[in-house]
Amino acid sequence: MKWFYVTGCDTGFGNVVVKLLDDAGHGVFAGCFMAKSLETLKAQGKNIVPLQLDVTNEDSVAAAAKEIASRVGESGLEGVVNNAAILVTPGPVEWKPLDTFRKMYEVNVVGMVAVTKSVLPLIRKARGRIVNVASIAGRMGLPTQPAYCASKYAVEGISEVLRRDMLPWGVTVHIVEPGVFPKTGLYDTFISDFEKLWTIQPAHIKEDYGEPFKDGYTKVLGDVLTIFGTEDTSLVPKAMVEALTSARPKYRYRVGYDSKYLITFLSWLHERWQDILILTEVPGGPKTPLPAAAMADGKKFALARYAGGRGQWTALWVLLFVLWSRGIFRLSPKRIGLAAILGLLKIKIDGPR
């Protein structure tokens, strides 16, 4: 039997992946923060070993690792899924208390590293796998998510380095990048936290931003969860299982419509174009409000200051490809090659982004 270790199993993706692994005949060490979750998980499968785990507490992490080592012995541990994470208090950088940054870093980054280090000798022994759960927030700065984005960018960076560290040991590292999955419980207090954050702002911040900005952003947050969210919460756990058990797993799993397509397309563009698209009011879509004291031409002024780039060329190639693939016009291979060469020359002249 292969044994795996999953953190954050109280609810959401972690809870589901434990069931999937158990159903497939694997043994699972299920790290749970809440004591009441232990008995619930234990009753769900004979090969599930619930462990009390606080990823921010070194003693707790060490005790869980000791229990795992005593059970797997010389066989080692086939894999770990660093799923435990929190998302709290959305809001602009200027609104966010420093404690919010510290709290998310402790759980989402330091906790992930602590858990990984605690079982890394066991994983090296089994030439196993490490699966780190990042996010679309680790690929692009999302409005109102400075602390969460910072923590998930860190997950991406650590995973890149760890992947190279582990190559000589025969250990592989994999990243799962979920988009918005509103039914996982991660967003249960998303909007209420935003409104609570507004109440503790000093008077000058409230005056500069204004109630209409707060109310408008509250609506935007709700619209984003509705419009861009993916309903099928099984997709992410299935990606985790594939990363753990597939003979040829991917390094990166982009899960959800927004992660696979929307953020991927935006990431191809120059930063100036990203800002325009993210902040532009799309008919029928979420409308990003402006702060009360913001200058009428502020956005235009700031965008004009940034140097240009090849983003428009990328957008053009994407548009041409879509039109061509739909049969709206046809290009011969020779013309496609010529267009590609001209694009590369333009990029060479413009220089790197």
Query: Which residue in the block uniquely carries the two structure tokens 């099984």?
Result: 234
Which residues, listed in sequence order, are joined to residue 116 by a DSSP beta bridge? Answer: none
**Contact by Cβ (8 Å): 126, 76:** yes
Write out the two tokens for 231: 């309903």
Q: Is 253 a catalytic residue?
A: no
Q: How far apart are CA 218 and CA 195, in angstroms?
A: 7
Which residues, listed in sequence order, are joined to residue 347 by a DSSP beta bridge? Answer: none
Please list, residue by residue across 281-295, b when 16 or more beta carbons sit within 10 angstroms of its beta carbon and e when fewer do.
eeeeebebbbbeeee
Write out the two tokens for 1: 């039997």
CA distances from 66 to 20, 56, 118, 270 (A): 25, 17, 9, 48
Where is 252: in which H helix or E strand? Answer: strand 252-255
Q: How far apart are CA 40 and CA 32, in angstroms?
A: 11
**Contact by Cβ (8 Å): 83, 14:** yes
Residue 80 amino acid letter: V
Nearest in space to 324 (alpha carbons), one of 304, 343, 339: 339
Nearest in space to 54 (alpha carbons), one of 83, 71, 32: 32
- Count, residues in the chain: 353
List of residues 6+ apart from 97 with CB closer than 8 A: 89, 200
Choose the catalytic residue: 5, 105, 148, 257.
148
Q: How many whole angstroms from its chain centre is CA 18?
A: 20
- What backbone torsions phi and psi does residue 146 show, to the nearest 5 degrees? -65, -45
DSSP state of 159: H
Active site amino acids: 148
